[in-house]
Amino acid sequence: MRALVFVALCASLAVGDPQCDLSSALEKFDCFPQDSSNEEECIERGCCWRDTNEFNGEPRKFPPLSEPFCYYPRNYQGYKVLNQTSTEGGLVVYLERVFPSLVDVDISLIRVEVIHQSDEILRIRFVDPLSRRWEPPLPAPPPPKENVIPKYVVRITDDTRLEVTRFIEYHGGNKLIDLDLASLVYTDHFLQISSRLPSNVVYGLGEHKGSLRRSTNFSRFTFYNEDRAPEYNARLYGTHPFYINIEPDGQANGMWLLNSNAMDIILQPTPAITYRPVGGILDFFLFVGPSPANVVEQYQQMIGKPKMIPYWSLGFHLCRFGYKGVDHTRQILRSNLDAGVRIDVQWNDIDYMEDRNDFTLDKTHYKDLGSFVDELHRDGRHYVLIIDPAVSGSEEPGAYPPYDRGLDYDVFVKDAKGQVVRGKVWNRKSSVFPDFTHPNSTAYWTEMISNFHEEVAIDGAWIDMNEPSNMIDGHMDEGCPSDFEIVYTPGDEPLKTKTLCMSDRHYWSEHYNVHNMYGFTEAIATYHALAAARPRKRPFIISRSSFSGHGFYAGHWTGDVFSTWTDLKDSVPGFLEFSFYGIPMVGVDICGFNGNTTVDLCARWHALGAFYPFSRNHNTDDALAQDPASLGEKVVTVTKNAYYWRYKLLPHLYTLFYRAHVDGDTVARPLFFEYPRDSNTYDIDEQFLWGDSLMVVPALHENQKTINAYFPRGIWYDLQNRTATVDAPLQGKYITIPAYEDTINFFMRGGRAVFYQEPGDTTTDSREKPYGLYIFLSHESYAMGELYIDDGESIDAVENRENSLITVLANDREILLGNESRKPIDNQLDRIHFYGVTAKPTGMTVNYQPFTDFQYDASRQILTIYNMDAALTFITITITYP
């Protein structure tokens, strides 16, 4: 029978058949995603085979990221609509399999649940109604809102497509997604679905090294967290299957797939997107925007907004793998402080451990680490150290509590036979892996961190190697069982590479299902453990591995980047993409981690790193020291200059983090976020913004003397040189500016007001200084801004309203400051620098009293008001002119 079917299909789908003669190669969607596609098996699937003679014998590589060899014909019908029913909250559609995919055993009946999550969010779930399948318990989206009035329209077309269009009354009727239900593949260990996109302007789909805008020229993005140095077209540390799409008219939409299994996502130039997870369900959330900022905020409604970070974490962090002991750590810190470099946080890598075992101290070189940390605290500084998830599994009973207590709590990952899994990480002989999905795991982790905190009063935790990383493939001495079914392998390596076996067991499920969530669940346990060890203080966590919702608990650094000019350039899109994922506390190892930096490279990198949200210098143990003092005068000078401005503008940066916490705003953001209708911004990822007020224009190339900088519409002020730099027309313009050797270019946007404090040696010192205010007038002669103030560390300051929010509104004749919270404030406002004032004032009042301590610079059009000594609460300033 199978042979007869094949012969019949060969006849019906021969080359030149109208079903296969699509209007364009862009209409071809891959019907044979596995390796080694061939004509016979392609036609047996009911698909069309591309004539391979035109390739002159060129081998067909896996996967064929080009025009597919095997593609779906016109009117292909793998699934058909059995029935559809409208519900109070959406729509339910049943699909029935009518032609086999031959990828794996098909699920014959699929229920599609279309749920109106809110006015702007649509949820689309593809489930097996007859069998429960794996779904990640976290993040847990909230229940749908009641009385939803959707800003979108959903319909099932006659050709078995699920289309979602903007409701034309709201935003123009653009089609947002176009899911092909007929070509859906839904099996136990492989799923595939494709959707057409409104345009080829796509961002997100991280974590992946490369440009910020994702190429739709048959690009593959693999989601399977892995310990590997960042490289192009390879899987990396994080899983965030979420994209932002800019439509032809400048509106934005986005979509997130809630699925924790390994997957490939393919972008093709149709433009279209294809999802290929190897398990779970298809659970999509569509965000209708209509701005990029709206899309990200809507996404965070589902995954959670980030916790508030401690103020001190915004200072400069110093670290390296390879400090020889406490004395060496102290010496490097002191040499940089003596050189005038501001440092707030000292870190240590695994060097501090005895035999590289968690929660131990090297008794020879780090025995007095606790005393050193006490010194840091007395000086107003803070301390963070690394904690790897795997603990030693080879210590004598009673000799190593992290192992003994883990057995007591029964929290270690087990194999399919119920035995504790042993792999190999940094420990001498073997490593065991806490299962952070286990109900006892938080209690266990809290006990370990709290006990260690009594010896070394850490202020935060750096969690690494948590993909989870393993220096062998699977188990010690035995690898992995060969009987675990894998139909399709996303990416370029077997799934067991440098991690656990797919059949290993966590409390929630097999490792096959929860691998990508390991670092995320560790971050949750670490957050609660630090909160217990340091009551009422905000936990600070930086993690390498990440998953959707990670930013609710922790920040991220982008891993083991190289000390190259390419990695310096790629660091900008590398940290910007995490702003899309609700992880604003993100940075890149300044000067690179792997390899030796150079003086010029490290100078440029410190200048840029001063504007990373998370700013840390860190490198490997087999490279030259790269802290500023070790590299000499040039690097020290650039670092001092750049971090002067970082520290001065920390009140503004901290306010942006407050907005991220309460509203889901981005902190660092690409230019297209503020200018989505300006297509010139779509490919710019060598410039970026802090909020909507400050634009950073770094020099990122070797021997660079000038920068071709893009200035979007409006007026931009060069704060360092105290000039109005650019008056850009409506469509914006490029201007060549100098790439200074000793500083970095940044510009302030007209129409904004930004608070500052003169920097002290640490954030602790700086917070004691009076505030100042920069006001930058726009063409419309107005400016506005805000300042968030709290104690900088209380875990519940926002929720308990132990804070103040100062707002400012100004035009060229009046400045108004108000305290929205009405909480008394001890801080004073000392001075105001008012840019864009076109005439010299004749008089001024402050809170209705005459005030004369002001100065006007006519050449620069700057009005400066001095020595105000005004309580930072309600202030009214009036300005009179001739």
* Reported CATH class of domain 79-303: mainly beta
User: How does strand 213-214 pair with strand 201-206?
Assistant: antiparallel
CA angle 451, 453, 459 (to 5 degrees): 150
| Joined tokens for residue 368 | 């007095």
- Spatial neighbors of 190 by CB under 8 A, at least 6 apart, are 33, 103, 104, 276, 277, 278, 487, 488
* 464 is a catalytic site residue: yes
Of 696, 718, 742, nearest to 833 by C-alpha is 718
Count the Cβ atoms, other than its own, within 10 Å of residue 75. 10
Q: Are 425 and 388 spatial neighbours (Cβ–Cβ below 8 Å)?
A: yes
Tell me which residue of 514, 661, 528, 643 sits closest to 584, measured CA to CA: 661
3-class secondary-structure state, position 659 = helix
Residue pair 191/185 in contact (Cβ under 8 Å)? The answer is: yes
Q: How far is CA 521 from the centre of its chain?
A: 17
Q: How far apart are CA 452 and CA 583, in angstroms?
A: 28
Task: Output phi, psi for 716, to 5 deg.
Answer: -125, 130
Q: What pLDDT was estimated at residue 721?
A: 83
Interior angle at CA 764, CA 349 and CA 667, nearest 5 = 75
**Nearest in space to 516 (alpha carbons), one of 187, 138, 123:** 138
C-beta separation of 103 from 185 below 8 A: yes
Evaluate the CA torsion angle 204, 179, 123, 198 in order and state its sign: positive
Tokens of 859: 């050449």
According to CATH, where is 2.60.40.1760 located in the chain?
A: 79-303
Options 447, 467, 627, 830, the catalytic residue: 467
pLDDT of res. 726? 83
Smallest CA-to-CA distance from 240 within 659, 549, 685, 691 is with 549
Question: How far apart (Å, rounded) are the C-alpha atoms in residues 261 and 259?
Answer: 6
Closest CA to 724 of 861, 863, 838: 861
Dihedral, CA of residue 758, residue 761, residue 767 and residue 773, to nearest 10: 10
Distance CA 466, CA 557 (A): 13
DSSP track, 689-713? EETTTEEEE---STT--EEEEEE-S
| Torsion angle of C-alpha atoms 437, 440, 446, 449, degrees rounded to 10 | -70
Plot region of 665 (φ>0 → left; ψ -120 to 50 → alpha; else → beta): beta
Q: How many residues does the chain have?
A: 882
Instruction: Write out the two tokens for 544.
Output: 């390498």
CA atoms of 539 and 529, how far apart (whole Å): 9
Report the first-to-last Cα separation within the chain, whole angstroms: 97
678 is a catalytic site residue = no
DSSP calls for 63-74 = S--SS-SEEPPT
The catalytic position among 351, 415, 464, 830 is: 464
Nearest residue to 470 (alpha-carbon basis) of 443, 442, 494: 494
Contacts of 676 by beta carbon, 8 Å cutoff, 6+ apart:
246, 250, 251, 252, 291, 292
Q: Give every CB contact of residue 584 below 8 A, 6+ residues apart in sequence.
A: 306, 551, 555, 578, 613, 656, 657, 660, 666, 667, 668
- The answer to whether 746 touches 611, Cβ cutoff 8 Å, is yes
Tokens encoding 358: 């968690």
Cis preceding-peptide flag for 63 (omega within 30 of 0): yes
Residue 707: how many other CB atoms lie within 10 Å: 21
Q: Largest Cα–Cα distance in the chain?
A: 99
- Are the C-beta atoms of 809 and 784 separated by less than 8 Å? yes
Tokens representing residue 36 in the block: 């080694």
- Intervals of the chain under pLDDT 50: 1-12, 14-15, 55-63
CB 57 within 8 A of CB 15: no
Report yes or no: 177 and 246 within 8 Å, Cβ to Cβ: no
